[in-house]
């Protein structure tokens, strides 16, 4: 998964987030994510899945919707300080923006519930 570090002068500056942004009037989620990723990272969205997770953003009037996407192109930071790819558990170690933290925690908890760890026992 790809996360980007917010610029220090913006809300939640320095924290990591999944890229995206606000829907413009009349835009669908797919339209908005395509525009935002083109503007923020210079990539093209090839496919966008259905809503994976949604949350009301604490301290703002926005509802954040997380969509899985497939992109073409190499992401470049046009608005962020840095970017990095990682597995969920790696990303969970980063200082994430509050809504992004709740998304990552939800995904990890869901994966743990669907795949409980097993114990290996040996007879001696």
Residue 96: DSSP 8-state: B
Whole-model pTM: value is 0.82
Q: Which helix (H) or strand (E) holds 5?
A: strand 2-5
> Residue 43 belongs to a domain with what CATH number?
3.90.79.10
> Residue 114 domain-assigned?
no
Instruction: Determine the Cα–Cα distance for residues 109 and 103; give it in Å rounded to an integer.
Output: 10
- Is 120 inside a domain boundary? no
d(CA 124, CA 104): 40
The range of the structural domain enclosing residue 75 comes to 2-103
88 lies in some domain: yes
> In this structure, is residue 18 part of a structural domain?
yes
pLDDT in tens, 2-52: 999 998 888 887 999 999 988 899 999 999 999 999 999 999 999 999 998
Q: Domain for residue 110, yes or no?
A: no
- If one counts the domains in the chain, the total is 1
Segment 56-73, tens digit of pLDDT:
987 888 888 999 999 999
Q: pLDDT (tens digit, 9 = 90+) per residue, 93-112?
A: 999 999 999 999 999 988 76
């Amino acid at each position: 998964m790809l996360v980007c570090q917010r610029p220090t002068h913006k809300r939640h500056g320095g924290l990591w987030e999944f890229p995206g942004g606000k829907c413009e009037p009349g835009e669908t989620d797919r339209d908005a994510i395509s525009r935002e990723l083109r503007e923020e990272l210079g990539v093209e969205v090839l496919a966008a899945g259905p809503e994976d997770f949604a949350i009301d953003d604490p301290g703002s009037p926005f509802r954040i919707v997380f969509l899985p996407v497939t992109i073409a192109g190499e992401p470049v930071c046009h608005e962020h300080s840095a970017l990095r790819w990682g597995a969920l558990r790696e990303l969970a170690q980063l200082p994430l923006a509050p809504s992004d933290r709740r998304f990552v925690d939800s995904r990890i908890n869901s994966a743990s519930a669907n795949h409980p760890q097993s114990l290996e026992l040996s007879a001696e």
